[in-house]
Each structure stands twice: as structure tokens, then as C-alpha cells.
Amino acid sequence: MVLLSKIATNDRHGENSPYFDGWKAYDMNPYHPTENRDGVIQMGLAENQLCFDLSEDWIRKNPKASICTAEGVNEFKNIAIFQDYHGLPEFRQAVASFMGRVRGGRVKFDPDRIVMGGGATGANELIMFCLADPGDAFLVPSPYYPAFDRDLGWRTGVDIVPVHCDSSNGFLITKAALETAYEKAQKDNINIKGLLIANPSNPLGTVLDRETLKSLVSFVNEKNIHLVCDEIYAATVFSTPSFVSVSEIMQEMEYCNPDLIHIVYSLSKDMGLPGFRVGIVYSYNDAVVSCGRKMSSFGLVSSQTQHLLAAMLSDEEFVENYLEQSSKRLAKRHNVFTRGLAKAGITCLKSNAGLFVWMDLRRLLKEQTFEAEMVLWRVIINEVKVNVSPGSSFHCSEPGWFRVCIANMDDETVVVALQRIHAFVHQEKDGNKSQGKSTKCLPKKLQLSFSFRRYDEGIMSPHMMSPHSPVPLSPLLQART
């Protein structure tokens, strides 16, 4: 007898993928600068840990905002018993203003349209429950965030139809690609209920330009389907071109049916608070707001969190400074990392947002196949010991791309990661040279017994060059496969 439900026993949670396998490899052997210098460096987690000093400083200066402090305890009972799925009015107000601020003050958001979800994960599922039935599908441009398969489809029964984008135009979403996917779905008798995009994109780290956004809005209007814009990375844009939200495009377009447009937002990336599970559905459709609010009972944001964030996000001076610092620090990190990669001859897709880079390792593939991509990924995780995520887990249509997260670690760890990558690339070149092979081929065995001087001094921080440098003990120097 089957004891569990079909949903519980199917594998649409997607955890059987290299994306999550990489996390497991990290969990089993996590890198630590002193305790475990041979461990795996986690570069598969899109977390923003660059500004915790700022939020911690705010918390210290505002003890009244936390209800578990002497200064805030008077509010404890009121907040602890609060259980309304509308959310605290001051929280919705603060989030609406924050969303407007993040979009440069060019649009205003109505607090009464804010529906809470458990992170963007819960918000994406909630909007699917509102818009589609089991067996219906959403178009999603690829490469896309791997957990969309779980979030959009596992419990709702909604399917994803990928819209294939490729590097020939920088993975831009074209009308032609949308039409091809839409028509194919129709031929296959699949009912397309909408299009979901992540802007800025995970994994690409790029923002959609005005014209592309307009073409997406006209596409959904022509087909009378929904457009869900996951804008979770809105404030991670660190250089030009600036972020354009679908909310601005709606104002600019002559015709747009607002009932079709929905924004998913979260504080997980922009404020670095994934543990707080603050997700938002902001819909321009009254029926979706009303039904979404009832459904949000399953994924509310704790009233304690709402209370704290209402105060934090209403502090305009703090928000201003946080957003400015966050984008400066992200820009710096991006610059250090991409320049470090460039010194090893590795390029990335040009990007200006997100907490990661989209690294091009096509020339390291033995052949241009997804099997070869997996071979390379295994070498990277097992030997180079950095957990990056292969493009195939993002449903990328071209093998050889890898997403590398860069904002979930400190400066020293970035240096170690770059050194490992440099070592790997040099070793490979040398290995191939000595075997008289083209540098395009991956050596069967990693013979990483090279001299230290080969390291690019440009990426050696003083810390790394100290007598206590962890590098001599690095597994890379001893690795044999």
C-alpha cells in the first residue's frame, strides 16, 4: 500500500539535481579558513552577506523595534497575538515605500495591494495557485532559477514550458523565442496561462531593457495571459543600465491590461534577509489580491518580523545608506571576482546585477555536450573544491556555463576561491602542454603539483601571502584523481 500522497512521492521538488548535490557536497565538507582549509567553498548560494554590519548597527541603535528587548517588551503581547493575514498596516506601508524607493521613486505602490508570502518561494507558489490549474503551464525564459520547477509546479501541478534563450544575443528574451515556445505548447495541447520572468535575472545577473519589457507586456496582452515578474534582485543592480520595473513600463505603455500584471518581491536578496521569509505578491488584479490574501494564511510573515521591519524600512536615512552601500560593495566584489577570473583567461557574461556571475567555461569542455559539462562540474566540485552550479541545472540550452555566487563570503574566501580556480586553469594548460594536447581538452588526471610562483600575484592578498597562508596545505596541491 502506498502510504504517502502522489505529491509527496513525486520528484518535482527538484532536489535530485546537481544544483542541490553541490550544496550537499559543501555541507559534508564546508570550507573554513582555520578549521577546514581543504573544504569546499560554497559558491552555489545566492546570499547577500555584504552589509550585515549596517543592519546589525541599526538593530543595536533601535532596541525598541525588537520586542524581545527591555525597550521593546511593552509591545510583546500585542505583536505575539497578532494573526491577521492582511499583515500589520505599518509593515505593508513600509514595504510599499521600500519597493518604490528601490525603483528610484518612479512608481508608487499601494500598501493595500501587498499580499504576504513565505519568501519569494511562497509568493511564487501563491501566485500560481491564483492563476493556474493543474496541467496548465507558464512560459519561463531559460536559463532560469532551478527552484522555479519546485516553487511553481510541485504542489500546484502547474508545468513550466522553457523559452530557450542563448548566448548569441546575450541570452536576451526575444519575441520570436516567446512565439516559438507558445506555438509549440499550443500544438502540444498545453494551456499557457502566463509568462514568468526574473528581472534582474538569476542566473544571468542582467537586467531587462525597456524595449524588451515592453515587448513582453504586449506579448501577454496579445495572448491574454498573465505576466509574473519576479523582481527579487531589484536592488542588487550595481551599475548601469539601471533597473526598470514592469510597474514603470505599465505606466508608459499606451495599452496594458493591469489585471494581467503581477510582481513577486522579497527581502531575501535586496536586504540579505532570506531567513526572515518576507515574500510579497503585488498584483494589479483586485481578484488576485483578494484571493491571494486568503491563501497567504499558509505562508504568512511572522508578526515579530513584520514589526521589526516596519521600523527598519521606515527609517529613510538607514534605507538610503544601506542601498547605496550595498550596491557599492556588490560592484566591488563583482569587479574583484571578474578581474580575477579574467587573469585566468575566464570570461563571464557581462552583467550588472545579482549576487553571482554567469561564467563561460565552454572552452574547457571536452566536447560541447551536457555530459561534458557534468564531467567538468564534478572536477570543479571534487578537486577544485568550489561549489558552482552547472548551466544544465538552470535549463540552459547551451553547455559550458556555470553560475558562481560571490556575495555570500568574505574577501579572504574570495581570494582562496580565485586561487583555486587559477591553479586549476594553469594546471590544465600545463597538463595539456606536456601531453602535447590542445588546451581545449581536459586532462584525465589532475596533476596539480605545480610551483607556487605560478599563482597570479595579483590575486594574492597580504593575508594569503603570510607564513600562515593556508594554500600550501590546499588539497589542490596534492590532488590526484
Q: Which residues are designated catalytic?
A: 145, 230, 232, 269
Does 279 bind ligand PLP (CB under 6 A)? Our answer is yes
What residues between 42 and 61 interact with ligand PLP by CB under 6 A? 46
Nearer to ligand PLP, 283 or 474 (CB): 283
Measured CA to CA, the distance from residue 85 to residue 75 in angstroms comes to 19
Q: DSSP letters of 329-398?
A: HHHHHHHHHHHHHHHTT-EE----SSSEEEEE-GGG-SSSSHHHHHHHHHHIIIII-EE-EEGGGGT-SS
Q: How many CB atoms are located within 10 Å of the residue 179 CB? A: 14
**Could you tell me which residues come within 8 angstroms of residue 63 by beta carbon, excluding any fewer than 6 positions away?**
69, 70, 71, 72
Q: Which of 58, 145, 356, 377 binds ligand PLP (CB under 6 A)?
A: 145
Nearer to ligand PLP, 121 or 413 (CB): 121
Does 230 bind ligand PLP (CB under 6 A)? Our answer is yes
Q: Which of 195, 208, 216, 232 binds ligand PLP (CB under 6 A)?
A: 232
| Amino acid sitting at position 110 | D
Least distance from ligand PLP to the Cβ atom of residue 206, Å: 13
Report the SS3 class of residue 138.
strand
Instruction: Note whether 252 and 342 are within 8 A (CB).
Output: no
Nearer to ligand PLP, 268 or 408 (CB): 268
Nearer to ligand PLP, 266 or 306 (CB): 266
Give 129's Cβ-side CA count (13 Å radius).
22
Stretch that binds ligand PLP, among 114-122, 385-393, 400-408, 465-473 (CB under 6 A): 114-122
Does 266 bind ligand PLP (CB under 6 A)? Our answer is yes
Task: Name the residue among 88, 127, 128 with its Cα closest to residue 111.
Answer: 88
Least distance from ligand PLP to the Cβ atom of residue 264, Å: 7
Does 119 bind ligand PLP (CB under 6 A)? Our answer is yes
Tell how strand 41-42 and strand 386-387 pair up. Answer: parallel
Nearer to ligand PLP, 93 or 202 (CB): 202
Nearer to ligand PLP, 125 or 373 (CB): 125
Sign of CA dihedral 185, 190, 193, 198: negative
Least distance from ligand PLP to the Cβ atom of residue 471, Å: 31
Least distance from ligand PLP to the Cβ atom of residue 417, Å: 20
Q: Which residue is nearest to ligand PLP (CB)?
A: 119
Beta bridge pairs of residue 32: 36
Measured CA to CA, the distance from residue 260 to residue 446 in angstroms comes to 53
Does 206 bind ligand PLP (CB under 6 A)? Our answer is no
Q: How many CB atoms are located within 10 Å of the residue 3 CB? A: 6
Q: CA gyration radius for the chain?
A: 23
Stretch that binds ligand PLP, among 4-12, 100-108, 113-121, 309-317 (CB under 6 A): 113-121
What residues between 159 and 198 interact with ligand PLP by CB under 6 A? 198
Least distance from ligand PLP to the Cβ atom of residue 261, Å: 17
Interacting residues with ligand PLP (CB under 6 A): 46, 119-121, 145, 198, 202, 230, 232, 266, 268, 274, 279
